[in-house]
Every structure is written in C-alpha cells, then in structure tokens.
Structure 1
Amino acid sequence: MRILVTGAKGFIGKNLIVELRNRGYNDIYEVDKETDELSLGKFIRDCDFVFHLAGVNRPKEESEFVEGNVEFTKHLLTQLEKREKPIPVLFTSSIQAEKDNPYGRTKRMAEDLIFDYGRKTGAKVFVYRLPNVFGKWCRPNYNSAIATFCYNIARDLPITVNDPNVVLKLVYIDDVVNEFINALNGCENRDGKFCEVATQYTVKLGDIVDLLYSFKKGRENLSVPNVGDDFVKKLYSTYISYLPEEQFSYQLNMKADERGSFTEFLKTEDRGQISVNVIKPGITKGNHWHHTKVEKFLVVSGEAIIRFRKIDCSEVIEYRVSGNKLEVVDIPPGYTHNITNIGNSDVVFIIWANEPFDPQRPDTYYLESTM
C-alpha cells in the first residue's frame, strides 16, 4: 500500500510515519511545506490512502487559515477526484470546529469538503475532531499547553496557569496513531459521521501541572509516579521526552564506607523501594530482622552467602548466590538475616523492599543471624 501523509513533519505526522514504518509500511509519500507541486501531483496519482494531517492553527495573518486549512484541502481533493479509483482520506480536524473562530470555521469548511469528496467519489472518509493531543515531539511554546509546561518545567522556566480549574479533554499521541492505523485497515472507531480516538482523558489543568512538578521533584526524592494510572504513565513519558539532552542523567546519594556502599534508587508509595548494595570481599552486612518489611535480594555480580535464622530458633538456613546465575531470595519477616561476600571481588546486589524506608519507623532490629 502506498500512503500519502500531508503535514509529515508535524507532531502527529512524525509519530504516525515512524509507527507505519515500524509495522512494515514502507511506501510512504511525505508531504510538507517544502514539497513542490510536481512531486505532490505524482504522490496523489500513485497513492492508495491519504492521511491529511496538514493544517494551519497559529498563522501570522488570519487569511492563512483559509489558505492552509481550506484551499490546500480543496486542491488535494480536486486532484484525488481525477483518479480512476476512490482513494480513502483520513482528515484530522479539531474540536475547535464546533466553535465560531477563524480556526474552527476553516476546519469545519475543510470537513465539509472531505464529506463532499466522499459522497461524489464513493471513497471512504475518516474525519477526526481531535481534542488536545499530547506526547513526544510536540512543539513547545506553540499551541500545546502540555508540551510548553513539560519543556519549561524541565528547564526551571516559569509557566503561566490562568485558571487551574480549566478542564482539558486530551488524547495521547500513541493512541491517536494506533487509531489511525486501525482506520487504514478498516477498523476505525466511528461515532456517526465522525471518527474518534477511543481512549480520552478529562483532566483539570491544575492537576496536570501538579503532576509535572512532582515528576521533576522525583529526581530529588527518588519517587516515581503511579504508572498503574494510564494517564499518569503517559504524561510521565511525555515529560521525560522533554528533558534537556545534557540532563538525562542525575546522581544518587551513595553512602560508602570500608564495607562497601548502599544507594537508594527508586521509591514509590504503593510499590516499595529499590536500592543497590555493594559489599567488599570478606564483609558481612545485615544481622537484623523486620516485623512487616519484606525484601528481595538479587545478586548481580560476585559471590555471596545469605543466612537466615528465625528469631526464636537456633537453626541457620544458608543460600549461596552469585551473579553467574541470577536468583531472587525472599527475606521473610521474623527472620534475622545477613549476606556475606565470599568471593574475591565486590558483591553487587539489588534490594527491593515492600515499603519506602521511613527513618521514624525503620522496622529494623539488630540480631545476629548465627549463634
């Protein structure tokens, strides 16, 4: 299938083209402002499906709304009508088409042209009145509040929130792209004459801003958001995509001494904490137990023995572990335990605990693991 994409260098166009190629669609004609008329004509004559994503939403002159949203659409459809077969067209409109402003009026006019083309030619048409779209590669400080907020917050730049109680209707770019490719394959999500992205979110602007600032603070307090919440997961991915390239990394507080080191890595309120522990050869760490705290040890480098003893028993249980064979060892409550480096190199192991460490209530009690 030969696919024509207008607005190919735009936010939606870039994401769509990348995913089309991921799925094996290689004959893609990319149309943008630099495409000459001769090339455009050839693409239209050859294509089997059109994603019409091009449009003008923030011009210097109001007349550009008509030129970019109406006249170009009319020109595209006029040439498609000359084809010997009906060519399906998917068009990205906007919820602004419901409003009486220059952008909305011209988007509505373009919709009418698309529907007329479908009636005249018998071609299948897909018109999506998209709400606010968010995700990677959206241009900040242009027409997306979320892109602007992500970009500015990641760079310690100020943002302006006029009314935090404003409610935004949102769709995520990957959901948009999936829906568009479903439409390409005849499985669109249709509601009457319009099509829509099935997964949508309604969120207050102030809540979005609070989340974005919490993502930024996560580097300091080692917290990660609740990615079990679908919107939070997608917003977090969006925020991370706007990090400055020179700031992809950040340092952790490594507590080191003659025995090795201990470094907290990630903390969550509902999924516990992850830390990294390093033990020098011949050193033993631990010799404590917990009432409720549960841990998992995973040695990824070196050789060690993990010893357990139920606090009211004398029997010692041993597990020999090494980075040559990854094996998780559960640390149950009520068992005092330690870990000893029995090799010639450092032991590096990952610890997961079922709760973040609370210095006010550490739930950690010293007791020798061997008697």
Structure 2
Amino acid sequence: MRLAVTGAGGFLGWHVRVLARALGWPEPVAVARAELADPAAVAARLDGADRLVHLAGVNRSGDGRIAHDNVALARAVGRGLRRCAAPPKTVVYANSLHAGNGTPYGDAKAAAAAVLAEACVDVDFVDLRMPRVYGEHGRPFGASVVATVCYQLAHDAVPTVPPDQVHELAHATDAAAALVDAGPGGCWDTRMPVLRLTGHELAERLTAMARTYRLGEIPALTDRHDVRLFNTYRSMCFPRRYPMPLVRHADARGDLVELVRSHGGAGQAFCSTSRPGVVRGEHFHLAKVERFAVLRGTGEIALRRVGERGVVRFAVSGDHPVVVDMPSMWAHRITNTGPDELLTAFWANEIYDPSQPDTYPEPVGPAPAVAA
C-alpha cells in the first residue's frame, strides 16, 4: 500500500506512519504544508499513490483562521488532485463527529469535506468522521484533554480540566487503522471504539494510574482503553522518570528483588541469559506494556521513537537493579555489554499470542561497545 499523507508531521500523522511501519508498508509520502501552495508539487507527490489521507488542518486558533485555513487546505489538495496524471485510488478526509454542528470548527470541517468531495472526480472519497483522538505523544494544552492531564500528572501537577464536560475519545492507533483501512489482525480496531467520560472521570482515572505507577507498580489495566490511557501517560514520563530503582533485600541466604507488582489483569514473565555482545529486541509494540530488569551482569537498554533518529540509552547492571518500561511505539533492545553472562527478567501485561504478537521488527541504531 502506497500512502500519501498531508499533516504527516502532526500527532495523528505520526501514528499513521507508525502503523504503516507495523504493517510493513513503504514509508508514506509526506505532503508538506509548504508544498500545498503549488498544485504541480502536490500532483507530483500524489501521482501513483494508492491512498491519500488528508490530515492537515487547524483546530485551535481564532475563529476566522479555523474557517479559512481548513477550507484553504482542502482546496489546495483539490487543485493538486486535478493535476495528477495517476491520482490516488482513494482519498480519505480525517473529519470530525462535530462537523456541521454550528461552531466555527465544525462548520469549517464540513465545508472542507465538501470541497474535497467535489475534487474527487473518478476517485473514491471517504469522509471519515472521528471522535476526539488521544494517544502517545499528544500535544498538551492543545486539542487533546488526555495529553494535558497526562502531562500535568507526569510533572506532579494537579489536573485542571472542566469537570462536567463529556468527552468522546478514540485511540490514535484505531483512528489511524480506520484512515488507512488496515483491516483485522492486529491490536487496532478500525471501528474506533469510543471511551465516554467526563473531565472529572478522566482526571480521576489517570490520577489513580499515576499514583500507582509512581511506586513502580503497574495499575489495573482491565480494558483496552486502560492500556492506552496508561501508555499515553507513560509517554509523558519518558525518559525523565527512568530507570526506576528496585529495592534489594539481602541476607545470608542471598538477595531478593521484587520485579513487578501488577494490580490485576493478565501478564507474562520470563527470563533470558545472553552471552557477551548478544542483542535482544530490535522491535517495537503498538500497545503492549513491557518491563526489562537486569539481575546479573552489565548491559545497555537503548530505545528510539519510531520515525525519529535520537536514541535514549540506559546503562544497567545487576549490581544496582532497576527497571525500564518500554514506551509503546519506541523501538528497543538490550545488549550484553559486559564480559560475563547477562541475566534479564522481562514482564509483559499480556500473554504472547502468535496470531497477534504486537511485535514489529525495527532496528534501534548503532550497537554499543562491548567489554573485552
């Protein structure tokens, strides 16, 4: 599947690109906002694509700019489509459930959809009306109330959200899957299951998770939205709050370290030994919560956010036990950097399912130096 995406650098655009990586598709063609002013440049980007996902838009600004910019962006895409020699087979517009509701934002979204529909001559047009979308690495103090609450909690602040406002929320991976028509077979749901709750309920739910996690414990993750809300909160904690130290209890018999305390839900624990220089991992997860702890030997845990270049590295040792929880949508690995065998304990919040492993190959970056 060859995707073209406007707004590829935004929050939902990043989730679309990560999902494309998980599906094994080519890197989507990003249509930059600066290019939208040039119909020929847009046409060159779109020619031969299977699907165009139009995400570029404005949702927070003055009323006049919201109305003008959303429609102007749709018109720019339309001009580019008309210049295509081989236009995309399908054009999908990331619309809102609030389209046409009489607000400047809702009316602008409806008008933009009409402009795109008119431009899609001999092209399938999908007007996908979505609820508010939340997920990992959302922008706080913008359109996402979840990102705002998670950011405040990650920085030890009390959440400040209108308590009585009702929010209808879908996770970004589900929205991305619907936008690209990913089909079944993964941890996503193209029906975009909605979480409905008030601002007070949202703050209360996330505050309870944060309170438990500050102790190094895993909160109860009883449904798919619990997992995704927890992952969104963890994305705001990383890497500042890691690694997390473990308490070692020692006596004449030896040592005891408690690796994980999970408050309900399924899970799986396992151990591995690695010879010097051996690398484990080099993959990412879309939703799975995974914990690493080195119990003996010396190693390096390295992580890189999918689609970005910077690598975060943690030196770990069995002499000073710590845990690092892998953030979702970050490629990760552990390398034995010492001269002796490395003993690592792993925990995941779900039992491994070979039919839906939620594990996608992705290299992290250059390997660390290994002790002789």
Q: TM-score range by the shorter chain?
A: 0.5 to 0.7
CA distance in 1: counterparts of 2:69 and 2:152, whole angstroms: 29
Q: Give 1:202's aligned residue.
A: 196
Distance 1:25 1:265, change over 3 A: closer
Match of residue 259 from structure 1: 253
| Alpha-carbon shift at residue 32 of structure 1 (Å) | 2.8
1:281-292, aligned counterparts within 5 Å? none
TM-score (norm 2): 0.64
Q: Is the 8 A contact 1:154 1:244 kept in 2?
A: no
2:232 equivalent to 1:230: no
Structure with higher RCO (Cα < 8 A, 6+ apart): 2
Relative to 1, partners in 2 of residues 1:5 and 1:349: Cα closer, same or farther, differing over 3 Å? closer
What SS does the corresponding residue of 1:30 show, helix, strand or coil?
strand
Alpha-carbon distance, 1:236 to partner: 0.8
Q: 2:157 is paired with a residue of what secondary structure? A: coil
Q: Secondary structure at the match of 1:247?
A: coil
Contact 1:225/1:232 (8 A) holds in 2: no
Residue 35 (structure 2) pairs with residue 35 (structure 1): yes
> Displacement, 1:268?
3.7
Q: Give yes or no for contact 2:53–2:180 (8 Å, CA) kept in 1.
A: no
The corresponding residue for 2:112 is 110
Query: Do structure 1's residue 160 and structure 2's residue 136 form an aligned pair?
Result: no
Q: Does residue 139 of the first structure (1) align with residue 139 of the second (2)?
A: yes
**Residue of structure 2 in register with 1:89 after alignment:** 91
Partner deviation per Cα, 1:242-270 (whole Å, 9 max, x = no partner): 11422122223322233323333333444
Instruction: Give the secondary structure class of the aligned counterpart of 2:244.
Output: coil
Q: What is the distance in 1 between the residues matched to 2:95 and 2:344?
A: 54
Q: More displaced, 146-155 or 77-86? A: 77-86
Distance, in Å, in 1 between the alignment partners of 2:237 and 2:207 is 13
State how 1:1-371 maps to structure 2 within 5 Å: 1-26=1-26, 28-35=28-35, 37-38=37-38, 39-59=41-61, 61-83=62-84, 87=88, 88-118=90-120, 121-163=121-163, 165-182=164-181, 197-270=191-264
CA offsets per residue over residues 262-296 of structure 1, 9 Å max, x none? 333333444699999xxxxxxxxxxxxxxxxxxxx
Contact (CA 8 Å) 1:3, 1:49: kept in 2 or not? yes
Unaligned runs of 5+ in 1: 186-195, 277-298, 302-346, 351-371
Distance 1:348 1:12 in 2: 35
Instruction: Give the secondary-structure state (helix, strand or coil) at the position aligned to 2:181.
Output: helix
Residue 128 of structure 2 aligns with an amino acid whose one-letter code is Y
Distance in 1, matches of 2:113 and 2:345, equals 59
Partner Cα distance (2:238, 2:196) in 1: 28
Query: d(CA) in 2 for partners of 1:273 and 1:6?
Result: 38
- Decide whether the 8 Å contact of 1:224 with 1:268 is kept in 2: yes
Judged with a 3 Å threshold, the aligned counterparts in structure 2 of structure 1 residues 2 and 37 are, in CA distance, closer, same or farther, namely farther
Q: Offset at 1:213?
A: 1.6
Worse overlay, 64-73 or 37-46: 37-46
TM (norm. structure 1) is 0.64
3-state secondary structure, aligned to 1:265: coil
Q: 1:253 to 1:169 in 2, by over 3 A?
A: same
Q: 1:91 to 1:183 in 2, by over 3 A?
A: farther
1:106 offset after TM fit, Å? 0.7
Contact 2:101–2:107 at 8 Å: present in 1 too? Answer: yes
* One-letter amino acid of the structure 1 residue matched with residue 176 of structure 2: V
> C-alpha displacement at 1:198, in angstroms?
3.8
What is the Cα-based RMSD across aligned positions, in Å?
3.5
Aligned length: 271
Q: Which moved more, 1:255-264 or 1:225-234?
A: 255-264
Letter in 2 for 1:168: H
Deviation of 1:157 (Å): 2.5
Deviations 1:186-216 (A, max 9, x none): xxxxxxxxxx734222223222212222222
| Structure 1 residues 44 and 98: alpha-carbon distance in aligned structure 2, compared to 1, 3 A threshold | same
Quick one: structure 1 residues 8 and 223, their matched pair in 2 at CA, closer, same or farther if it must change by over 3 Å?
Answer: same
Contact 1:215-1:236 at 8 Å conserved across structures = yes
228 and 55 in structure 1: CA distance in 2 versus 1, 3 angstrom threshold? same
- In 2, the alpha carbon distance for the partners of 1:275 and 1:126 equals 43
Instruction: Please identify the structure whose Cα radius of gyration is greater.
Output: 1
The answer to whether the 8 Å contact 1:264/1:274 transfers is: no
Q: Is the 8 A contact 2:43 2:81 kept in 1?
A: no
C-alpha distance in 2, partners of 1:248/1:66? 43
Shift of 1:175: 0.9
Q: In structure 1, what residue type is equivalent to 2:219? A: P
1:129 to 1:36, Cα distance in 2 relative to 1, 3 A: closer
Preserved CA contact (<8 Å) 1:263 1:275: no
Q: Is the 8 A contact 1:49 1:184 kept in 2?
A: no
The percentage of counterpart residues that share the same residue type is: 24
Pair 1:55–1:220, CA change in 2 (3 A): closer
